[in-house]
């Protein structure tokens, strides 16, 4: 056999910088014998509308060759219209077709928007802990995390940052934040938008969980508050409302900006096949699906919070999310976070540490717990193990 070809030194600078295995891939590779996988922000298996998708295929595929041909670059028009209808029904928002781009999950949307505004070496402002750190890393090494208080990202800290160095973009997840499970208040949203407009900093609103609202307040999106001027680009996804395997998301912004972002999309049209099925599904099942999902996830959220009250108590504090998939737990003794995570892993309970959500690797003494995917018995068992791990770590480090 010929010698192995040594490609590593020949890789581009971009590929060299990404030498570490992708964290999104490793997240779904949990060992089979876990007691509880509280890592993945995937939908619950029982929330997946498999039978309805079979029916969607039966009604939408026959006599529809377009589903298996290359598609329009902007995205399948029926799906563009399904997103518009969703925005109209659930938010009372009227948007035009040319304000929406369909993408391969919102992951591609985030990547495109970051590439549209950020050059390597430029600074990006992002939430105190952010799912977006992973995506920002792909375009620049420089991120400034804005601390959050009970209202959301602190406007005074953002203002100070803007005065020191104007970032190329402010990337925020204002609603049912990942990982923090918190929501930016209406007043703070207005303040942040004001600040960004004054300093000419575009805003990326990553809005993966907007639809999954269980109780309490959910302010209008930043996009809506701004009135579609082009200051805000909002990214949404079908991953949480239909299923992550459908790989469909969207970008919503002012039409002239959408036109500038579109050329950053390298494909032959986001899967017309998936798009055809998703559009057919949304036409028939959108409202009932949202109601169902909120009932399923709301109950899981309640269960996780009750179990935390019972088994963790005063050794930590945690968020009480009104929607989304995650609870964010901050240890009373933050220096023990790595040990607690390790003790959980040794007892086959998987959780995600705070460092994964930072550009600087600071774990903030925090742990993210996903309640969306694990069966309810696993949520209880997992939180019980977590409680014991926190107590054991404290006892071992008096």
Ligand X SMILES: Cc1ncc(COP(=O)(O)O)c(C=O)c1O
Q: Which helix (H) or strand (E) holds 143?
A: strand 142-146
> What's the DSSP call for residue 209?
T
Least CB distance to ligand X at residue 10 (A): 30
Cα-flanking dihedrals φ and ψ of residue 101, to 5°?
-120, 135
Single out the residue of 368, 91, 69 nearest to residue 228, CA to CA. 91
Piece in contact with ligand X (CB under 6 A), picked from 48-56, 103-111, 287-295, 331-339: 103-111
Number of amino acids touching ligand X (CB under 6 A): 13
Q: How many CB atoms lie within 10 A of CB 264?
A: 14
Piece in contact with ligand X (CB under 6 A), picked from 71-79, 100-108, 220-228, 264-272: 100-108
CB-based contacts of 181, cutoff 8 Å, min separation 6: 319, 320, 321, 324, 326, 327, 328
107 binds ligand X (CB under 6 A): yes
Identity of the residue, 24 or 377, whose beta carbon is nearer to ligand X in the bound complex: 24
Identity of the residue, 75 or 387, whose beta carbon is nearer to ligand X in the bound complex: 75
The one among 114, 173, 359, 386 contacting ligand X by CB under 6 A: 173
Piece in contact with ligand X (CB under 6 A), picked from 43-51, 104-112, 329-337, 378-386: 104-112
The one among 111, 191, 205, 206 contacting ligand X by CB under 6 A: 206
105 binds ligand X (CB under 6 A): yes
Least CB distance to ligand X at residue 263 (A): 20
181 binds ligand X (CB under 6 A): no
SS3 234: strand
307 binds ligand X (CB under 6 A): no
How far is it, in rounded angstroms, from Cα 138 to Cα 14? 8
Piece in contact with ligand X (CB under 6 A), picked from 102-110, 114-122, 217-225, 357-365: 102-110
Residues numbered 215 to 244 that lie near ligand X (CB under 6 A) are 237, 239, 244
CB-closest chain residue to ligand X: 105
249 binds ligand X (CB under 6 A): yes
Identity of the residue, 206 or 339, whose beta carbon is nearer to ligand X in the bound complex: 206
Contact code string over 26-65 relative to ligand X, x by CB under 6 A: ---------------x------------------------
How far is it, in rounded angstroms, from Cα 148 to Cα 160? 14
CB-based contacts of 99, cutoff 8 Å, min separation 6: 228, 252, 253, 254, 255, 258
366 binds ligand X (CB under 6 A): no
The one among 60, 74, 99, 106 contacting ligand X by CB under 6 A: 106
Own/partner pairs, 44-50, CB within 8 angstroms, 24+ separation: 44/296, 44/297, 44/300, 44/372, 44/373, 45/373, 46/296, 47/292, 47/293, 47/296, 47/297, 48/243, 49/242, 49/243, 49/281, 49/285, 49/289
Least CB distance to ligand X at residue 176 (A): 9
Helices within 34-164 (DSSP H only): 50-60, 77-91, 105-117, 133-139, 155-164
Identity of the residue, 206 or 224, whose beta carbon is nearer to ligand X in the bound complex: 206
What's the distance, Cα to Cα, between the start and end of the chain in Å? 58
Least CB distance to ligand X at residue 295 (A): 21
Structural contact between residues 347 and 382, judged by C-beta atoms closer than 8 angstroms: no
Identity of the residue, 128 or 339, whose beta carbon is nearer to ligand X in the bound complex: 128
Residues numbered 326 to 345 that lie near ligand X (CB under 6 A) are none
Residues numbered 122 to 151 that lie near ligand X (CB under 6 A) are 131
211 Cα distance to chain centroid: 13
208 binds ligand X (CB under 6 A): yes
- The DSSP code sequence of 315-339 is GEEE---SBSSEEEEEESSGGGHHH
Instruction: List residues near ligand X by CB under 6 A.
Output: 41, 105-107, 131, 173, 178, 206, 208, 237, 239, 244, 249
């Amino acid at each position: 056999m010929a010698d192995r070809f040594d490609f590593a030194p020949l890789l581009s600078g971009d590929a060299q910088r990404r030498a570490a295995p992708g964290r999104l891939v490793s997240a779904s590779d949990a060992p089979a014998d876990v007691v509880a996988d509280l890592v993945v922000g995937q939908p619950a298996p029982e929330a997946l509308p498999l039978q309805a998708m079979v029916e969607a295929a039966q009604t939408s595929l026959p006599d529809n060759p377009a589903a298996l041909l290359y598609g329009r670059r902007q995205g399948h028009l029926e799906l563009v219209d399904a997103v518009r209808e969703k925005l109209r029904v659930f938010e009372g928002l009227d948007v035009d077709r040319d304000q929406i781009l369909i993408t391969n999950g919102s992951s591609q949307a985030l990547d495109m928007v970051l590439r549209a505004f950020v050059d390597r070496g430029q600074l990006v402002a992002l939430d105190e802990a952010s799912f977006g750190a992973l995506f920002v890393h792909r375009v620049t090494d420089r991120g400034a995390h804005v601390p959050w208080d009970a209202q959301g990202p602190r406007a005074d800290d953002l203002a100070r940052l803007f005065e020191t160095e104007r970032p190329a973009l402010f990337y925020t997840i204002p609603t049912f934040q990942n990982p923090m499970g918190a929501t930016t208040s209406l007043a703070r949203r207005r303040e942040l938008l004001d600040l960004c407009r004054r300093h000419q900093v575009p805003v990326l609103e990553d809005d993966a969980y907007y639809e999954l609202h269980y109780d309490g307040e959910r302010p209008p999106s930043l996009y809506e508050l701004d009135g579609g001027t082009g200051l805000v680009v909002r990214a949404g996804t079908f991953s949480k409302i239909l299923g992550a395997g459908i790989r469909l998301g969207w970008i919503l912004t002012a039409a002239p900006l959408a036109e500038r972002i579109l050329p950053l999309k390298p494909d032959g049209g986001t899967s017309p096949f998936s798009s055809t099925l998703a559009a057919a599904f949304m036409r028939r099942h959108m409202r009932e699906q949202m109601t169902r999902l909120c009932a399923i996830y709301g109950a899981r959220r309640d269960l996780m919070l009750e179990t935390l009250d019972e088994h963790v108590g005063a050794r930590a504090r945690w968020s009480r999310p009104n929607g989304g998939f995650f609870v964010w737990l901050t240890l009373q003794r933050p220096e023990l976070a790595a040990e607690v995570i390790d003790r959980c892993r040794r007892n086959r309970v998987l959780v995600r540490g705070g460092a994964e959500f930072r550009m600087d690797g600071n774990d903030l003494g925090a742990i993210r717990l996903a309640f969306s995917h694990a069966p309810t018995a696993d949520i209880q068992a997992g939180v019980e193990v977590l409680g014991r791990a926190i107590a054991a770590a404290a006892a071992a480090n008096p």
